[in-house]
Amino acid sequence: MNCVDCSIGQYKLREHCGVFGIAGSRHAALHAFRGLYALQHRGQEGAGIVSTDGKSLYEHKNLGLVNEVFKDKRIFEKLKGTFAIGHNRYSTAGETNYINVQPITINFKMGVISAVHNGNLTNAIQLKKGMEEDGSIFQTTSDTEVILHLLARAPSNELYLMIIDALKKINGAYSLLFLSPESLIAVRDPRGFRPLNIGKLGEAYIFASESCAFDILGAEYIRQLEPGELVVVDRNLNLQSFSPFPPRENRICIFEFIYFSRPDSTIFNTSVDKVRRSFGRQLAREHPASADIVISVPDSSNTAAVGYGQETGIPYDHGLIRNHYIGRTFIMPEQDIRDADVLIKYNPVREVLKGKRVVVVDDSIVRGTTSRKLVRMIRQGGAREVHFRVASPQIKYPCFYGIDTPTSQELIASQKTVEEIRAYLDADSLGYLSKEGMLSVKELPSVQYCTACFDGAYPV
């Protein structure tokens, strides 16, 4: 999975995160560490784990990658108990600070509780303002703390009812895990924007944003948490499922299939690889090209490029090599640093490109600056023609459900026609997957999708 590499890597992601939870394993914290390691692509700003032995909560978190934060293996001796939750955080540069690293833990009338969150609330600012006027003091600038404050004010004395009460007041996208000494509670918003899955490892229940976190443990994928479902696992490993919210039309984030999730993951009960490959095939049907080779912008576009090659019969080859050992460029707040990183991150394979008519498949174009540099790089690598193909529709609108996209003014597709973008990229041709074509691929689960960044039809 890459970010700088594909143009969507120019997004500054906020609260686009990975969550992991485990109930009933004597290696709970260690498994959480490995699960977070598999989910590293969902957030690199900070990582944390909270565990419990049924008496207290034990926490370790910090800024940095998972293996940096948990470098000292003695940390796991501190993280006692058989239940744990963990989080990989992504955020805008301005919010890069320790206090926002999750899990976030509070003390309240019922004791202590910790939470991790993937998503973004659309009414968090209003709710927070109201509570601050009532005297609440917030420690972080994270949406997740708003949920915890609402929970602490709920009238019930039953934890899961307090959570339901709090969540009924919020709008937006959330896949959440809560940990108290008594239980682990998982919940997904009624529209189901973000994924959350249940797996099993022996007797233990596992929850994770993507199934790749189960594979790393040798755990079994069971199913997704349904939109609006809340699951409680108690200390005796009894699992209870509730559907406490009025049903809503699903609004699954289509970008999880286009880019966010790993191709080897199952999300929304569906293989990401299958869907992404089909996007490539559909793109080929809509925008064929006379070319000698198909290459991808590695790694996130590999699967779509393979699909494009399969459909057209043009051989797929490796024309760009990615350096895996630098950070994601979208961590860099300054545009000039980001551009420099694009050049550092890729190198063309001249033997592959020399004299060829090349189709390059990318998963998306945001500002267009990365794509432009890639076209130049492929030409400098010796390509005779460069045909740019994008395995998603044109991104014209910002996202408010978990991704802090640039403003419309910065989104190239909201400012320029396809022909103007082609000219800006200096490509010989340019083709985007159509929205209708994207939604028509039979591998996509037949539910309603959020497509707001393409069409501006915001569901919340």
Give me the active site residues, please: 17
Among 162, 403, 413, 430, which residue sits at the site for ligand SF4 (rule: CB under 6 A)?
Answer: 403
**What whole-number distance in Å separates Cα of residue 403 and Cα of residue 360?**
25
Q: How far is CA 26 from CA 38, 77, 115, 154, 186, in A?
A: 20, 12, 21, 33, 20
Among 254, 284, 412, 444, which residue sits at the site for ligand SF4 (rule: CB under 6 A)?
Answer: 254
Only one of the segments 52-60, 157-165, 295-303, 400-408 lies at the binding site for ligand SF4 (rule: CB under 6 A); that segment is 400-408
Query: Going residue by residue from 214 to 253, which x/- string records binding to ligand SF4, judged by CB under 6 A?
Result: ---------------------------------------x
Q: How far apart are the first and last CA of the chain?
A: 29
In the bound complex, what is the minimum distance in angstroms from residue 255's beta carbon to ligand SF4? 4
Interface with ligand SF4 includes 365 (CB under 6 A)? no
In the bound complex, what is the minimum distance in angstroms from residue 132's beta carbon to ligand SF4? 28
**170 in Cβ contact with 124 (< 8 Å):** yes
* SS percent in the chain: helix, strand, coil, step 5: 35, 25, 40
- β-pair type (385-390, 18-23): unpaired
Interface with ligand SF4 includes 259 (CB under 6 A)? no
E strands, 282-377, are: 293-296, 320-322, 346-348, 357-362
Interface with ligand SF4 includes 444 (CB under 6 A)? no
**22 in Cβ contact with 206 (< 8 Å):** yes
Among 193, 268, 308, 330, which residue sits at the site for ligand SF4 (rule: CB under 6 A)?
Answer: 193
Nearest CA-CA partner of 198 in 23, 402, 449: 23
State which H helix or E strand residue 88 sits in: strand 83-89
In the bound complex, what is the minimum distance in angstroms from residue 449's beta carbon to ligand SF4? 7
Between 150 and 254, CB nearer to ligand SF4: 254
Interface with ligand SF4 includes 451 (CB under 6 A)? yes
In the bound complex, what is the minimum distance in angstroms from residue 124's beta carbon to ligand SF4? 16
Among 399, 413, 430, 444, which residue sits at the site for ligand SF4 (rule: CB under 6 A)?
Answer: 399
State which H helix or E strand residue 239 sits in: strand 239-242
- Paired tokens of 290: 């006379």
**What whole-number distance in Å separates Cα of residue 253 and Cα of residue 189?**
12
Interface with ligand SF4 includes 450 (CB under 6 A)? yes
Interface size with ligand SF4, residues (CB under 6 A): 12
Between 214 and 259, CB nearer to ligand SF4: 259
Residue whose Cβ sits closest to ligand SF4: 399
**352 in Cβ contact with 295 (< 8 Å):** yes
In the bound complex, what is the minimum distance in angstroms from residue 240's beta carbon to ligand SF4? 29
Interface with ligand SF4 includes 452 (CB under 6 A)? yes
Residues that bind ligand SF4 (CB under 6 A): 193, 253-255, 399, 401-403, 450-453
